[in-house]
Amino acid sequence: MNNEFSLRIKEQRKKHGLTQKEAAQALGIGQTTIANYENGTRVPDLMKVGEIADLYNVSVDYLLGRESYEVKAAEDRKKDEIPDYSYEEYMKSLLDGNKKLVRNILLSFLKKGVPSVTIYREYIERSLKEVGELWEKGTLPIWKEHFISELSLENMALIKRRKYQEIEPERPILLITPGAEQHSIGLKMIGDMLEANGHNVMFLGNLIPTDNIIHAIKDRKPYAILLSVTMPYHIEAAKMLIDVIKQNFGAKAPTILIGGTAFDHVENVATITGADKHCMNIDDIERNLRRI
């Protein structure tokens, strides 16, 4: 590649009002990599050249200096950047907890070639600000704010990968860490694996008040709840949460599965905590889910 490529990607970045850091985030690479591309000390592979062309909505030939003009006129580019769904539709799907629709909306943007920066700024960033405002006003429960935040992180990963596969049932599995338990990475990994296997996963994470968890169960009607406890001193919080869930829902309570390193040296975990099953690993979880 010649110096024309370096000059044109720098010119396009500035034309779109992006810093090197913002362009790097949109492309899923480091800021230093963008800097190296622009000063000509590093050359991207052809796939990355295509992604850069998509980001700036120009042709690969234009970036490589094979064309002396941009393929699309400014008005045409602006028209092509208009998504098939409005922001209001996107926001409603978030508030409704319609995970599948949210992802289908983003997938339609990607298929149409809407620049990642447009999706980040006009949809994800804008919606998170609005969600924060609703939470501050007390019109949005904490559990829903957490869920939308987690879903937004997943959507950002989706944009980065630019691919998506999903087969989800209607009712979800709720993933929670009880009480003040804040070690949630292991639970998140379990959730990712369950989702890859076709389950509809709602990861609420940690520090969710009990009344909000009850609200989430009433609203989303999960068929199972997966609790993870890492520190032994949080076992009591798990027992209390399970007791509250069963008191509120009785025979209609979701199946409660529990696991985590806090139980490594504990016997009869299900009996002690009140959970329906104690699961040791992802295979154990899958076996129990199939029996529900």
Q: Token pair for residue 208?
A: 């969710």
Q: Between 37 and 68, whose confidence is greater?
A: 37
Domains along the sequence of the chain with CATH? 3-72 (1.10.260.40), 87-161 (1.10.1240.10), 173-291 (3.40.50.280)
Check whether 186 has a pLDDT greater than 50: yes
pLDDT at residue 167, as a whole number: 42
The residues, ordered by sequence, that sit 6+ positions from 221 with a Cβ below 8 Å of its Cβ are 171
> Which has more pLDDT, 111 or 266?
266
pLDDT at 210: 94
Cα 118 to Cα 124: distance, rounded to the nearest angstrom: 9
53 token code pair: 């062309």
The residue-averaged pLDDT of 88-94 equals 93
**Could you read off the pLDDT of 152-163 as tens digits, one per residue?**
888 887 776 654
Considering the chain, what percentage of its residues have pLDDT values greater than 70? Answer: 89
pLDDT tens digits along 243-282: 999 999 999 999 999 999 999 999 999 999 999 999 998 8
| pLDDT of the residue at 1 | 53
Count Cα neighbours of 156 within 13 Å in the Cβ-side half-sphere.
15
pLDDT at position 166 is: 42
Position 81 confidence tier, pLDDT thresholds 50, 70, 90: very low
The average pLDDT across 128-138 equals 91
Neighbouring residues of 123: CB distance < 8 A, sequence distance ≥ 6: 87, 90, 106, 109
Pick from 8, 135, 155, 126: which is nearest to 67 by CA? Answer: 8
Q: Which of 36-50, 135-149, 249-263 has the lowest mean pLDDT?
A: 36-50
Q: What is the mean pLDDT of residues 125-131?
A: 90
Q: Is 96 left (phi over 0), alpha (psi -120 to 50) or beta?
A: alpha
Location of structure tokens 């034309």: 15
Tokens of 154: 């997943």
**pLDDT score, position 170:** 64
Angstrom CA distances, 89 to 58, 104, 119, 160, 276, stand at 28, 12, 14, 22, 39
User: What local confidence, expressed as pLDDT, does residue 80 receive?
Assistant: 47
Q: How confident is the model at residue 21 (pLDDT cuts 50, 70, 90)?
A: confident
Residues 87 and 111: their CA atoms lie apart, in Å, by: 17
Tell me the C-alpha to C-alpha distance, in Å, between residue 141 and each of 15, 121, 171, 176: 41, 24, 20, 16
Contact 228, 177 (CB under 8 A): yes
pTM, two decimal places = 0.54
> Rounded distance, CA 124 to CA 72, Å?
27
- 287 has a pLDDT exceeding 50: yes
d(CA 181, CA 139) in angstroms, rounded, equals: 26
pLDDT score, position 55: 82
CA distance 10 to 60: 14
Give the total residue count for the chain. Answer: 292
Residue 235: the pLDDT is 96
Tell me the percentage of the chain whose pLDDT exceeds 90.
38
> If DSSP codes are grouped into helix, strand and coil, which group holds residue 227?
strand
What mean pLDDT, rounded, does the chain reach? 84
